[in-house]
Amino acid sequence: MLVSKDAPAAAAPADATARAKADLQSTDAAFMSARPIQLHGTTYKLKSPLSAQALYITINDITEAGGHVRPFELFINSKNLQHFSWMVAMTRLISAIFRRTADPSFLVEELKSVFDPNGGYFKQGHYVPSLVAEIGEQIGQHLQKLGLGPRADDEDEPAQPAAAKAPAKAAAVISKR
C-alpha cells in the first residue's frame, strides 16, 4: 500500500467541509420547525391587467415560543394555468426561505426588482414592473403587518435592481467633473 505525503492535507478539507455542513444543518434546525397541524394565514387577491383571472396569495404565519410571529409558508393560486409552473416553483422557494430565516424582508426587494420584458403596468397610481414585483409588494405589506422589514415610510425611492442604479451613479459622477 502506497501512502502519499499529502494524505493528511487531503483529509483537512474534508473535515472542514463536514464542519461547514454540520454548522449549516444546525442553523437550519434553529429556524426550520415541523409544520403545526393548524396555522393562521391571510389570503390576498391580486388582480393584474396581465391576466384575466386573479391571483390569490396565502401567507400562513407561525407563532414561535417567545410570541414572535413570522411567515412560515406561502401559496400562490390562480385559475390561469399559463402561470402554473412558475407559481409552484415560487411557492416552494419562498416557503423554503420563510422556514429558514428569521427576517425574509430581503426577498421583497429581490422580487420587486423583477421587470417584465413586455412592460409593467400602473396600479393605484404607481408603476408595477411585473406580476412578480406585485407579489413582492404584497409579501412586503404582509411582513410590515407582522413588524418585519422596512416600514413603508422608510423607502425613499422605488425598488430598482442594482444594475439599474449603477448607471445613474456613474452619470452623477460624470456630471460632477
Q: What is the pLDDT of residues 32-59, one digit of tens each?
A: 668 889 999 999 999 988 888 999 999 9
Q: What's the grid cell of residue 14? A: 474534508
Q: Where along the chain do its domains lie?
A: 40-156
Residue 30, pLDDT score: 53
Number of residues that make up the chain: 177
State whether residue 7 is helix, strand or coil: helix
Per-residue pLDDT for 164 more than 80? no
The burial of 50, by beta-carbon neighbours within 10 Å (0-12 exposed, 13-18 middle, 19 or more buried), is given as middle
Entry pTM = 0.68
Q: What's the grid cell of residue 97? A: 426561505
Phi, psi of 45 (to 5 degrees): -105, 120
Residue 80 CA to residue 58 CA, distance in Å, equals 17
